[in-house]
Every structure is written in structure tokens, then in C-alpha cells.
Structure 1
Amino acid sequence: MIGATNAFADQPAKQAFGGQKLPAVAKPESVGFYSKGCLAGGIAIPVDGPNWQVMRLSRNRRWGHPRMIALLERLSREAAQDGWPGLLVGDISQPRGGPMLSGHASHQIGLDADVWLTPMPKRRLSDAERENVSAISVLKGDTLYVDPKIWSPAHAALLKRAASYPEVERIFVHPGIKKKLCDTVTGDRSWMAKIRPYWGHHYHFHIRMSCQPGSPGCKPQAPTGRDDGCGKSLAWWFTDEPWKPAKPSTPKKPKKPAMLSDLPSACARILNEPAPASIADVTFGLGSGGGAATDATPGSPPVPAAAFAAPPAATSIPLPIPRPGN
């Protein structure tokens, strides 16, 4: 173990974690901060569910803490009650979390997930479509404001549903979406405190869960408070300040990539944990599993029962604990 840890020590962290194809077989544990950490005991959400489809499969970023996978499955079921036909799930985390080879700075500890603001279609997308189909921006042209021809009450209901879960700490959206909610939501607005404006996020929204039990090394974010966030902090986003181009400066030396040694020490251990025999051993479906799966999307081909099957009853691999039946 010491030799293996030292071998990783001088390797850029994104190469070390980006090269992992399967998770660490260990108890579920998020280590470090959302933008500086790793994940043990992660599981994969099935590519297809009755109310979800996973996008961009080639990235291999459909892994998460079991409680995150459970939450996404729950959201997909309950959002149907609000008129949302199903989730298109974007990036969650890499098999062992950690920095990614491209894209996100966060999503490193299995507690972040992107959900497209595009409703799931009434058919199963092919692998090629999942790679190439673009999410649809909800903004009007190049403005900062939501397009009323695209935005619907179901968008707002989906965000409210996600924010209603106590384990969800923040939901990042484009400032224009936050403003739309501020201008239109009536009645109980307590959930609005979790909706946080941020650059981008007009094609998808970003769910962030709080640190979960069993992860003593997980570093939480500061609480959001109870303010609905519709005052001065939101008004700032509609000034020139957030959108000013960076001022030219003296060229600097390229920033040194984060090394494994820059992450929490437990991340080297997690890189060296054994992997399961196959992805099927760490893909959990809709709870009990087994039997035929029912596709709730009219007119689409059935989802294979194997996609929802429980892990093998007898195995020599100490599997991560099944994700909670959320």
C-alpha cells in the first residue's frame, strides 16, 4: 500500500481519478470538499429507468454516493406528479470521484448531480443521441431572462420538488431562472433559499447534497440561511459586474495541476481499494430489483429487466451497501 500510494503521489489528481473505470469497493464515504476530494463505495445509476435516462455515457460520470443515486431516483418518480415526464441525468461523479479530466471543478465527492432542464422525451434515446443531443437553454436569446415560450410551471415545480428534500443543500441555476422564480412563486417560499444563482446553468440545474452520515471526512458548505435570495444579492447579477471580461494582465506561468498529494490523504487509499468484478455489481435499480421492469414512458421500447436487477446474492466481492430506498 505504501509503495502504491507513493507511486500516485506525483501524479496529477485528475489523471489518477479520471483513469478509474470502476469504484472502490468500500463503505460509502465522501472525503473532502465538493471541489477537492474523492468518493469510496460509489454506485452507478442505471442508464435507463422508468422516469430517467442518463446522458453522455462515454464520460462515465454516472457514479455517486448511494444516497445521491437514491435521491435522483426519488426525484424522477415524484416529479411525474408535477407534470415533469422524466429526468435527463447529466454528470454526477467519476467512479471514485476526484478531479475530472475536463469540465467541472466540483462533482468530486459523489454529492453533486446535474439534471437537464429539457424534459425526457417519450422514447429511449440511442447511445449516439445521448452523446450528441443538446440540452435546450431556457433563456431568451442572449439575454439574462427566461424565455416564456420555453419556461413552464413544470420547470418551477421540478426545482421546488428537488429543493424540498432535506438532504439537498443547494441547487444552482442561472440568475435568470432565480429571478423568474422570485417574480412568480407565491405562497411558501422557504425552499427558495436553496436556489442559488450562478454562471451557466441555463441548460441544466445542479443539485448539491449535504455531507451524509458515515463520511466524517466530508467538509460541509456554509448554511444557506432562510432568506429567499431575491434581494440585493440577486440584483447584483443583473449589473455589468458579473459579466465583465477579465482584465488583461501580465502573462503568468501555467498553473500547476492539482496533485494527488493536494487532496485529503484518504484519497490515495481510495485509489488503491479493490474494484468490483464488473459494473453490474455496483449498479442498483429501483430498490428491491428483480422481475420485469415497467417502462412508464408511453410508446417507448421496454427497459430490460436486467437494468433494474439486484446485485448477485452470492459473490466474493464485498459490495458497497445498497443505496437507501429513498
Structure 2
Amino acid sequence: MKKLLALTTALTAVAFTAQADVTVMSWGGAYGEAQTNAHLIPFTAKTGIKTVMVDSDNPATPIKAMVEANNVTIDVASLEYADAIRLCDEGLLEPIDPAILPAGADGTPATDDFLPGAITDCAVSTDIWSNIFAYDSSKLTGTVPTTAADFFDLEKFPGKRGMRKGAKAVLEFALMADGVAPADVYATLDTPEGLDRAFAKLDTIKSDVVWWEAGAQPPQLLADGEVVMTTAYNGRIFNAAIGEGKPFTIVWDGQLYENEMYAIPKGAPNKDQALEFIAYATSTEGLQAQAQQISYGPARKSANATEIIFKDGKTVMGPNLPTAPENLANALETSSDFWVDNDSELNERFNAWLTAN
């Protein structure tokens, strides 16, 4: 039923865009807007190929439904790294030959220019983003949270918490808040005792959590005062703070970062144009343009993130990116291998835990 609903929603969304030559499905909100401004609009201006953006809470779900139903209406999807690997392994994505990717602006071949892991068999990285937590500095004064442990401390910081509804990034964050070093998180989570420990930590705040599913929700939860602090995608909080003037502060301690990927669903109606779009969007210029729109790090060395300025013309992006050295002090790179192997099982347990008294 869920697959049917996802497929119906996606088909309805693109029914009005039948004339588009490249249809891109992404996450909506500030992120979708950033990709539209940095990739879709200039790509159309350069090539004459029409493009359209379609939003989804998580593109992996409708893409899987479309391919399995043999009714694909999307040409490019923005996917989390583990989903891109999993869907590729399941034969649901088109392979992408790295030879189509342009060299860096400095002439470096693409395979050497991209950061390690940023090119896979079926996907190419658009940026490096992270799960962080944030608070409203106009509501929290004096003592403020600075560590992952503070997020779980209801005595020191009473009030509701916002968290993404799902196992991924939530279980890792819980373990880091409980004192597990980033280097040991996945080894710990891969044991029954470690998994129990993560859920036990979540138990300590379960009754005070407001669960969110779409990336646009955390900034709104903070702005409405529904939560004291919330996990969020770092770019959504940055855009709310810098782009909209909200008094939000990011806490980088315990962040989980990973690559976001452009991929092509198997059977995409405009595969050749989709490949051309991905080559353009993941060029040095394409990645720099996106980093001017939202605080996600470029996946190419030639993009030189330290020199990128936000679209406001004054904010230097380097210190606001997940990959800034000072933001990596207690950070964890999400393990795609772990989540490809364990996603279904851990989400089943998470959902069971969520509904249990």
C-alpha cells in the first residue's frame, strides 16, 4: 500500500510536467531551491533542455516504486548515499560511466578531483551534508547546549526535542551522546548490546520527542517554539539563520555527515539528457554554485570551498560547512555499508519501539 501511495503521489506530481526533458526529484524546501537555482536553471540556459523540480520527503521511496511498477517518470533523483548504493545493488538505477564527468576547473581528471567515495557505480555526489542539532538562541540564554549529551539532558535543558523519524542517524547520535567515540559507533551498533544501549538512551527522552519527517519541519518547530532543540539537516538551519535571520544556532558536536548523490532511475524516459544534466551539475562550477545557495560542502577538490561566498554576498561558507576542520572534532561519517546491510531490520525495530508504551 505504501509503494502504491508513493507511486501515485509521484505520478500526480509529474503529470503536469510531461513536456519537461529532464525531471529531477529532490527533497524540497531550501535544498530543492538551491539545486534549482544552481543546477536546473543554468543547465536549461546553457543547453536549452527544459528541466523541472519535483519534491519528495525521501526520493528513494517513490523511485523504487516507479521502477518496480515499470512506470518511471523521473529522470534524476537526489538520494542519500546508502540509498543510492542499495538501489544500485538492487538493479533499480542506471550505471553512470565516470568518463562522462568533466575534468575539474583546474584540469584535474574527475576521478582524481572528486573526494574518495563521491563517485559510485550508479551515482555522483552533489554535496556533503550532515545531521546536526540546533536551538533558538532567543529562547535559550545563559547556559546553552554544546554537546550531543546536552541534547538528551532534560534536567539541564527541559523541554521538547525534535528528531527525525527513523533509525538512521538517530541511533548513531544516541550512542555518541552516551559517550561512544565516533570511531566505535558502528562496531557498537553492530552488536545486540550496543543496539540495546542506543535504544535505552532514546528511552530517556522518548516521551518528550516531536518526530519530524520532512527537512523543512525542524526550522519550523524551532520557530514555533514547539521544541527547545531539534536535530536537522545543517543546510536547513543555516538558511533559516543566515538567509531568513532566524536566531538559530547549530551545535556541531555529534554531527553525522555523508554524500548526497544524483542518480538516474532504471528506465528513465530521458536518460541521455539526464546524464548530461548530472555531468553539468557535478562539475566544479555546478558544485560551487550549489554551495553558494546552501551550506553543504562541494565533493570536488577543485571547488575550493574556502573561497565560496553565500548568495548574500558576504557570508564565507567554509566555516559553515560540515567539512570545516573545527566542525569535525566529534563527527561521524555515515557508514553506507552498515545501512545497506541493516536498514530494513533496524527500521522495523525502531518503528516497533516507537509504538510501544
TM-score over 0.5 (shorter chain): no
In terms of fraction of residues, the more helix-rich structure is 2
Q: What TM-score, normalized by structure 1, do the two folds share? A: 0.26
Q: What TM-score, normalized by structure 2, do the two folds share? A: 0.24
